[in-house]
Chain A
Amino acid sequence: MENEVEISVSDLSFYYGKTKALKNISMDIYRNRVTAIIGPSGCGKSTFIRLFNRMNDLVPGTRAEGRINIGGLDILGTGVDVVELRRRVGMVFQKPNPFPKSIFRNVSYGLEVKNVKDKIYIEEMVEEALKNAALYEEIKDRLNDSALMLSGGQQQRLCIARCLAVKPEVILFDEPCASLDPVSTKKIEDLITELKKDYTIVIVTHNMQQAARVSDYTAFLYFGELVEYGISEKLFTVPADSRTEEYLSGKFG
């Protein structure tokens, strides 16, 4: 399959007050590919992907410069409908964060806030989303139970289902396995590989093995700077930059 650009980042900088957290980043993220963002803690990985759905808007005193073009729209522009953007660019967070509602209501939430009234359509979408998140078989008999009864791994797949139900184009994963055990982690990784057929996926992780396992492309961020970006296989075996090599060999981070 040809590489089509889904997200185009150009000369992007981001400031927390006076601190420059991201430094003039430019990169293209491809459709139906998994792109991993790796780097040591505090290097700006999460800050970076949280710009793609304007989640950083919630943090006071921040400012972005440059452009992020998603599907022909500069999403950092002032007139952008953030609500609409977040329907196109979904996000799964570091800690599973289901609402204290039923499993069903968790998944239907995105449709509910979109004012979808058609009950049959909602039921179909919820079922489809749960199936695509590889959770349906486990919980199909207890859709009305509280989501908080699920295990951590199931909760995280529920959060993925919640995100899928609004049919986004891009899914951002912010260290989705950070709080999960190895078995649950494996399930999420398999799921990500499955999901890339229909979605563009960006995943932040500080687990290099995970990045190597799931991603097609990898970007290495170091102190807000994009050090290296390329095909994962190549980046992990023959890194071009000495800093990437040092990080991969565990000299820091």
Chain B
Amino acid sequence: MKQKIKEEIYRCIFAVLAFSSLVFLVGITLTLLTQGLPLFREVSFMNFLAGTDWYPTYDPPDFGALPLIASSAFVTLGAMFVCVPLGIGSALYMNEIAGYRQKSFLKPLVEILAGIPSVIYGFFGMVAVAPLIQRIFNLPTGLTALTGSLVLGIMATPTVASLAEDALSFVPNSFREASLAVGANRWQTLVKVVMPSAGSGISTAVILGISRAIGETMTVLMVTGGSAVIPRSFFQPVRPMTSTIASEMGEAVFGQLHYNSLFALGLVLFFTTLFFNIIAEYISSRYRLKLGMGR
């Protein structure tokens, strides 16, 4: 009897631990909603999403978030052009071309890159990348969307590389052998058999890399210059949603519209990353089915 009660207690403890993620998720969603939604009592939803002026401290204030959303999209898109080729390229090299020794040296290296705090990437961007961009393109400032894209892209590369490498290593060796045995060369095997088999895993890697880039705050705050206008080129300063929240939260007064508007930006971010994560999860569950692992 006593034993039974004891087991029941253990069961409860672990259940509470397991369900805590759910509690946090609900809590975060509720916080965002209760603090963000009051904005829309004063500002229409369309005016928030499509408005082109962000002057939250003017009188009367403007809460057009389009420049911020566009900046985020710009920087993230730019980052994709960096992290997708770099990440997938390194994954392919590590898994398909490098020998055992090179791989056991490269993989931890990539993982170290993933562990560097984002503020350090920010320093790197400010000191190394920004002046370079300024000099090469002869710009008034080096703190541009391009700089942000490059640094974010480098930051997201380890995520993409590491996950894509996992996806490639899940491709059974028997596929490679089968392909080579009927007279395919290594390149054909890679392109026609290995890549398609790992395809959904690789797309998951890319999507998770993107959602990492969208949510990144410190780095973009430090290297993108922070001008809240709709970007027309990669060579001008931009102000993504994340850095807006981080830089304005200090001056926003609790309970005021400005404060609410920052939470509303948070909501946009939250649902964007949620959307990407759900897609990634959907693709990877299909991928497991395809290779006949788990069901």
Residues of A within 8 A of B (CB): 53, 55, 58, 60, 83-84, 86-87, 90-91, 93, 95, 97-101, 109-110, 112-114, 148, 159, 162-163, 165-166
Q: Which residue of chain B has its CB nearest to the CB of A54? A: B180
Q: Are A83 and B174 in contact (CB under 8 A)?
A: no
Q: Are A97 and B178 in contact (CB under 8 A)?
A: yes
> What's the Cα separation between A100 and B200 when bound, in Å?
13
Q: Are B185 and A113 in contact (CB under 8 A)?
A: yes
B290 proximal to A (CB < 8 A): yes
Q: Are B175 and A99 in contact (CB under 8 A)?
A: yes
User: When A100-B290, A109-B192, A113-B192 are in contact, do A162 and B177 touch as well, CB less than 8 Å?
Assistant: no
Task: Tally B residues with Cβ within 8 Å of A.
Answer: 23
Q: Which residue of chain A has its CB nearest to the CB of B182? A: A110
User: When A60-B100, A100-B197, A148-B292 are in contact, do A93 and B184 touch as well, CB less than 8 Å?
Assistant: no
Known pairs A90-B181, A110-B184, A165-B182 / 14 extra A-B pairs, C-beta < 8 Å: A58-B177, A90-B182, A93-B181, A95-B174, A97-B172, A98-B178, A99-B193, A100-B291, A101-B196, A113-B179, A113-B183, A113-B185, A113-B188, A159-B178
User: When A100-B291, A109-B192, A113-B188 are in contact, do A93 and B174 touch as well, CB less than 8 Å?
Assistant: yes
> What's the Cα separation between A200 and B145 when bound, in Å?
65
- A122 CB to nearest B CB, Å: 14
Q: Which residue of chain A has its CB nearest to the CB of B174? A: A97
Q: Are A99 and B99 in contact (CB under 8 A)?
A: no
Closest 8 CB pairs between A and B? A110-B182, A97-B174, A113-B184, A87-B183, A91-B181, A97-B178, A86-B183, A113-B188
Interface residues of B in 275-295 (CB under 8 A from A): 290-292
Q: Which residue of chain A has its CB nearest to the CB of B189? A: A113
> What's the Cα separation between A90 and B181 when bound, in Å?
6
> What's the Cα separation between A155 and B29 when bound, in Å?
49
> What's the Cα separation between A101 and B176 when bound, in Å?
14
- B7 CB to nearest A CB, Å: 41
Q: Are A109 and B180 in contact (CB under 8 A)?
A: no
- B99 CB to nearest A CB, Å: 6
Give every chain B residue within 8 A of A148 (Cβ-Cβ): 290, 292
Interface residues of B in 138-183 (CB under 8 A from A): 172, 174-183
Q: Are B99 and A86 in contact (CB under 8 A)?
A: no
User: When A60-B99, A100-B291 are in contact, do A166 and B183 touch as well, CB less than 8 Å?
Assistant: yes
Give every chain A residue within 8 A of B177 (Cβ-Cβ): 55, 58, 91, 93, 97
> What's the Cα separation between A162 and B174 when bound, in Å?
14
User: When A60-B99, A109-B192, A113-B192 are in contact, do A97 and B183 touch as well, CB less than 8 Å?
Assistant: no
Q: Are A55 and B174 in contact (CB under 8 A)?
A: no
